[in-house]
Amino acid sequence: MSAEGTALARGAARARRGTLPDRAFHALTLLFALLVLLILSGVVFALISGALPALGEFGFGFLTTQAWNPVTEKFGALAPIYGTLVTSAIAMLIAIPVAFGVALFITELSPNWLKRPLATMIELLAAIPSIIYGIWGLFVLAPFVQQYIQPALIETLGQIPGIGLLFAGPPLGIGVLTAGFILAIMVLPFISSIMREVFETVPAVLKESTYALGATTTEVVWQVVLPYTRLGVVGGILLGLGRALGETMAVTFVIGNSHRIHASILQPGTTISAALANEFTEAVGDLYLSSLIALGLILFAITFIVLALAKLLLLRLDRQAGR
């Protein structure tokens, strides 16, 4: 055999020996991916099988009624669903502009000596356990809201026809609005940190070129920074929304845990997570337990729908950016 043939044979032998580790690595990573899908399928199966008795008993009415009476075994999920969506909406309405302002200040306006300490302090908010937020909200935030914020809202917005219904009733301190405040504080570090990171990815030459053309900081932000980073900004917002939808302990402390829907956001309410945390250990009877599991299935469905819509939105933005 010639020298060239020998070299080719040796190369082929090495290639065959190399395929075995490659195949093993490929099989191992595939196993991990399938394991994740298996775990997710197991969770969905457990939720569906556990919720079937309640869904079979109450049918679609489980989603449209707010009755929740363990004594008579009449259960409806409307009040927890309403509380989950409203508290999350309040949290996002407060957290998004604040997080955007914080991220913008750190990346564009803050002096260099303040950037790192301020960013670190914001990120430390994410490390605080949720039960600490709940205790602080109950003993500090709720009295402050009761004494200052709620009376001001009642005297101003509460006097406007139509809108006033949202701010009617006595100032109790605890309630849907206070839970929204707590959630806003909790999701703020997640949203602002991601926004800050994506803002810092904007090439300096783009901003400097825009400044050179005479643009102001506001124009640079709206015409350069946001278009360049909109996918990351949307991703950060959705991450915060996912945290708000599933938060449990902090909300449980301050929302009042009432299975009733009030037009006023100053009044007590409940969320799916809070209802599960409060009542799961006390559930007596198969129907009661099944109703709580059905609440978990609904929360899973809400989260899945939100993430699916978010993915579609990101794909659409990506296509528009490509054009």
> What ranges do the domains of the chain cover?
61-322
Chain segment 40-86, per-residue pLDDT in tens: 999 999 999 999 999 998 888 899 888 888 888 899 899 999 999 99
CATH code at 61-322: 1.10.3720.10
pTM: 0.86
- Calpha distance 40→6 (Å, rounded): 52
Chain segment 166-217, per-residue pLDDT in tens: 898 888 889 999 999 999 999 999 899 888 888 888 888 888 888 888 888 8
Token pair belonging to 301: 């469905």
Do the Cβ atoms of 165 and 182 come closer than 8 Å?
Answer: no
- Calpha distance 43→48 (Å, rounded): 9
Q: Is the dihedral of CA 104, 201, 125, 190 positive or negative?
A: positive
- Calpha distance 62→77 (Å, rounded): 6
Smallest Cα–Cα separation from 64: which of 51, 75, 53, 48? 75
Average pLDDT over residues 13-28: 70
Q: How confident is the model at residue 15 (pLDDT cuts 50, 70, 90)?
A: low
pLDDT score, position 217: 82
- Calpha distance 68→74 (Å, rounded): 6
Strand partners, 256: 269
Instruction: Count CB atoms within 10 A of the CB of residue 23.
Output: 10
Q: How confident is the model at residue 285 (pLDDT cuts 50, 70, 90)?
A: confident
Q: Which residue has the tokens 């197991």?
A: 42
User: Residue 6: pLDDT above 70?
Assistant: no
pLDDT score, position 176: 94
User: Residue 12: pLDDT above 70?
Assistant: no
